[in-house]
Structure 1
Amino acid sequence: MTTLLEIDALTVEFSGVTAVSDVTLRIAAGETVALVGGSGAGKSTVARAIAGLVSPAAGTIRFEGEELGAASRRRRRQLRRGMHLVFQDSYAALPPTMRVADIVAEPMVIHRQGDSASRRAAAVAALESVRLTPTATYLDRFAHELSGGQRQRVAFARALVTRPRLLLADEPASGLDASLRLEIVDLMTELAQTQGLAVLHITHDLALAARSCSTIVVMQDGREVESGPTADVLNAPAHDYTAALVAAASG
């Protein structure tokens, strides 16, 4: 598999306080990697550093073989068109005054891709790819008219409409009931496999990570404490914190 994202010794600081320190991970096309840890572990900060929403203090981020920190501003913008961050709170992330078709097509407008007809067609195709069907019944709805699971599917469709190579999914199943959580995670796995996406699944839920991810990276207090194949990490954790997470999930 082709490695799409490479992170080495990533460190992020806020006002001199270290939020993330020395995180390293790899994600290949078609692979889903879980970034696991409790609240405040630094998981979301890692995703935001990849997406360019915060600046690293040290370390390197390579996407499709190019180091983002060494690229020009214009080139970084071009490279980051190939990635999309799906936020935890789909209700807050979706514009309340826009209809679903326009919400999904908005990234194409931002990147000046296509005309109105081609953007609407792409939005329909993206909604079909996340199995929000019959699609025609959703195109003119507003976010508040959708269920939590439907909103999260719209968020994924919006992420996919520009055909990215990397999805950064920040607790995408949070706030949903058990059956919907499984549906969203299974959808993410399907998208990775069928569209060749690299997916970073940020979660505190080890059961969801085990269901969807080939590799787990465990973080505690901003640091990576353990990583490896999912089965190895969960069945024989090497770090006390990982063992505690596994015990809590089993209990």
Structure 2
Amino acid sequence: MTSPVLQVAKLGVDDAAGNPVLAGISFSLYADEVLAVVGCSGAGKSSLLRALLGELAPGIRRVAGEIFCCGCAVHDADVERLRLLRAQQCAWLGQDPAQELVPTQRVEQLLLGFVPKTPEALSDAVTLLHAMGLPADDTFLHRYPHQLSGGQRRRVASILVLLKRP
């Protein structure tokens, strides 16, 4: 049997005052599986995702448990190992995906900035544009983020994550 891509065991995270933000979180996620994290505002969804990437907000700290992502013990990893994990194996799409777009880069630059500049990469980007209901013509590819609708910005930001193949 294959190992999980992500494994969390009895994770506990507290705020600066020592109040629990997350308590006893455990799960395993295997390749090609999807996990939906849902809850009301303030439930700790973003804190969980930040903990998984080893990037808790100021004042928030892990107080218990272990996190293994792609074979890396996130809770014990040094800064360089975490940087490589985030850059090469993980992807984050925040609550406002449009904020992930660099305002001075055209759509084409954004799409090809995250992948090697190969014909295959361009083909993957075009395939994802079509799958997301976006045009792949020069007019669209030469637009800046401010020239896109909110929905188009969210879809382009989603494509950026998918192109990394996290």
1:29-44 aligned at under 5 Å gives the runs 29-44=31-46
Distance apart, 1:34 and its partner CA: 1.3
Verify: 1:58 aligned to 2:41, yes or no: no
Q: How many residues align?
A: 156
Higher helix residue share: 1
Report if aligned partners of 1:124, 1:135 keep a CA contact under 8 Å in 2. no
Tell me the CA shift for residue 46 of structure 1. 0.5
Letter in 1 for 2:13: V
Are the aligned partners of 2:91 and 2:164 in contact in 1 as well (CA < 8 Å)?
no
For the pair 1:82 / 2:67, whether they are aligned, the reply is no
Question: By how many angstroms is 1:4 displaced?
Answer: 0.9
The amino acid across from 1:129 in the alignment is: L
TM-score relative to the length of structure 2:
0.78
TM-score of the aligned structures, taking structure 1 as reference length = 0.54
Consecutive unaligned residues of structure 1, counting only runs of 5 or more, are 109-113, 165-251
Larger relative strand fraction: 1
Q: Distance in 1 between matches of 2:150 and 2:118?
A: 25
Deviation at 1:93, TM superposition (A): 2.7
Q: Does 1:135 align with 2:136?
A: yes
Q: Which runs of no fewer than 5 residues in structure 2 stay unpaired?
A: none
For the 8 Å contact 2:53–2:74, the answer to whether it is kept is no
Runs of 4+ in 1 over 6 A off after TM superposition: none
Alpha-carbon RMSD: 2.5
Q: Structure with the greater relative contact order (CA < 8 A, sep ≥ 6): 1 or 2?
A: 1
1:23 aligns with 2:25: yes
Q: Percent identity?
A: 35
Question: How do 1:121-132 residues align onto structure 2 when only pairs under 5 Å count?
Answer: 122=121, 125-130=124-129, 131-132=131-132
CA distance in 2, matches of 1:34, 1:141: 32
Please give the per-residue CA displacement for 1:188-227, whole angstroms capped at 9, x wherever unaligned: xxxxxxxxxxxxxxxxxxxxxxxxxxxxxxxxxxxxxxxx
| Pairwise CA distance, 1:41 | 0.5
Residue 225 of structure 1 corresponds to which residue in structure 2? none
* 1:183-198 alignment runs, 5 A limit: none
Deviations 1:44-64 (A, max 9, x none): 110111123215332111112
Distance 2:9 2:100 in 1: 29
